[in-house]
Each structure stands twice: as structure tokens, then as C-alpha cells.
Amino acid sequence: MSEINTVGLAGAGTMGAGIAIVAARGGFDTISFDLESDVLTGAVNQTAAFFGKSVERGKLEQGEVDTIIGRMRQTTSLEDLADCDVVIEAVFEDVGVKQDLFSALNDICPAETIFASNTSTLSITEIAGPSGRDDRCVGMHFCLPAQLNRLVEMSPGLNTSDATFETAWAFCKAMGQIPVKTKDSPGFILNHFLIPFNNDVVRMVDAGVAEPADIDKAIKTALGYPLGPCELLDMVGMDTQRLVSEALHEASHDPRAACPALVKKMIAAGRLGRKSGRGFFDYKGPAMFGA
């Protein structure tokens, strides 16, 4: 496998924007693709705000930030990912969407380009199947917020070559992340536990057992979590929670993974979380978490 110098991100939403920060901060030229120019503009603004807070808090010098941002560019043309050594997809948690994306990229990118999926619940083998290069596809599940959470779940598909996995593993470490190897299994490690847990929390809120703020306070105080589950759900987005719940439930048939009714009601009411300005909590406006 060739050395990785240029990284492509397919999808510039919350997850894609965070991964782009990680890659550029790690020293890689980074190209973010999204079909919607407004999404790209939002990612640029959120990235600037994130690094602005880093400078304010003394974590980075302005010169360092300028260098990092200088490695980043955006595009609405998928063809601009043609020169990437690895492309990481961070699009909707829908196997068909991801398969179509990889299939399109297969006609654009050189044979040696690695395709990585940020899926949190779907099968890497299934996503990679129609790609035309399933030996060069690998799972790289970053955790929200990617720019602060260093864990990456690395999952080979059935046909992923050893060389591909080793290159992706080394690339992950070069970005400053901490990889762990998982089997291509529904939910991998984290979401095997987290999705049912968060759904239990939603059902608890719906049943009136406790208010979201009190649930979060209990979890953070007693268990030492840096984020409460309701805060995390607002960050993930109710629309995304519905997608990952449905995907995990279909794969595992775990009743706790089934999407709660309250999530569907919140989506209908436009209360998606941070991205819409209101979820379990109210926000001044959509923003990227952390600094």
C-alpha cells in the first residue's frame, strides 16, 4: 500500500467536519466533499469557531491554526477526491447510500486508494461488496465529537486485505487517534452498548421518570461520564439516532435497539438537537462541540 498524504471526506456534517479537523490537525491535506454548499459553509464556520476557542484557551497558537486550516479545502464535486490516498465516508447511516458512494468513487479514485466507512452500526462487508475494491475497504468508526474523542473502532470486512488494514491502522495512529480492532459485528463495541442504553434513557424521559437534566446529572456524577446521555443525543441528532437504532435493530433484533416513539415525535417537531437549535435542551444555534 502507498503512503497516505491526502485524505478525502465524503460528507461534511457534524461527523465529517470533525474527522476533517482530525486529519488536517494530524498533518494531512484534507478535502471535504458534500453535495450541499451550505453544509460545507457550515463546516468551515464551525471549524473556525472550534480552533478559535483552542487559541483562546491556549491549546494552540494562531500560527498553528492557520497552518492546519491551510491544509483543508472543500468541494461539491466528487471528482475532486480523485487524488486522495484514502476516502472516509461520513454520510447517512444507510447501506444503499454508502454502497452507491463507494461504487461512484471506484470509478474516480486510483486503484490503490483505500475506502473507509465511518458507519457505527452497518456491516463493513455489506457496504464494501459492490465497491469494486472490497479488499481495500475498511471500517473506521470515529466517535463524537471526533476532534476531541480519540477512539476509532477499526473493523475489517471479510475481504479486507491485511495490507489495507495495516495501512489504515497506521494512518489512524498518525492522526493522533487511538485505534481498537473489532469484528464486523452489529454496533461493533461502543454502539452495541450505547444505542440500547440511549434508547432506554429516551423511554425513561417519555415515561416521566426524570427530566433530561436530572438524568444527565445522575449519569455524569455517579458514573463519571463527561457527557450525559441526553446531551449526547442532542449532539448526535435525533434523525441520526433513528437511523442507527433502526440499523442495529434490523441486524440484532434486540428490542432495546428499536427506535423509541419519542425520538420519532421529536423529529416530527423539528427538535433534532444541536443541529436545529433544540432537542432535549435549547441551544442558541447550531455549533460544533468542544474546543
**Active-site choice (191, 198, 199, 245):** 191
pLDDT at 1 over 50: no
Specify the pTM. Answer: 0.89
**Active-site choice (141, 155, 192, 276):** 141
Is the domain of 200 the same as that of 163? no
pLDDT digits (tens, 9 = 90+) for 253-270: 999 999 999 999 999 999
**Active-site choice (93, 117, 118, 153):** 153
Is the domain of 150 the same as that of 242? no
Is the domain of 10 the same as that of 83? yes
287 domain-assigned: no
Distance CA 225, CA 221 (A): 7
Task: Say whether the peptide bond before residue 145 is cis (omega within 30 degrees of 0).
Answer: yes
Active-site residue 120, yes or no? yes
Is the domain of 48 the same as that of 145? yes
pLDDT digits (tens, 9 = 90+) for 36-82: 999 999 999 999 999 999 999 999 999 999 999 999 999 999 999 99
Count of domains in the chain?
2
Give the model's pLDDT for residue 288: 52
Is the domain of 126 the same as that of 51? yes
In three-state form (DSSP H/G/I as H, E/B as E, the rest C), the secondary structure along 158-196 is CCCCHHHHHHHHHHHHHCCCEEEECCCCCCCCHHHHHHH
Is the domain of 169 the same as that of 77? yes
186 domain-assigned: no
pLDDT digits (tens, 9 = 90+) for 97-154: 999 999 999 999 999 999 999 999 999 999 999 999 999 999 999 998 899 999 999 9
Task: Look up the CATH number of the domain holding residue 137.
Answer: 3.40.50.720
Is the domain of 169 the same as that of 218? no
- Domain span at residue 217 reads 193-268
For residue 116, the SS3 value is strand
Is the domain of 30 the same as that of 163? yes
Measured in whole angstroms, the distance separating CA 55 from the mean position of its chain's CA atoms is: 24
**Active-site choice (32, 54, 118, 120):** 120
Is the domain of 177 the same as that of 68? yes
Active-site residue 141, yes or no? yes
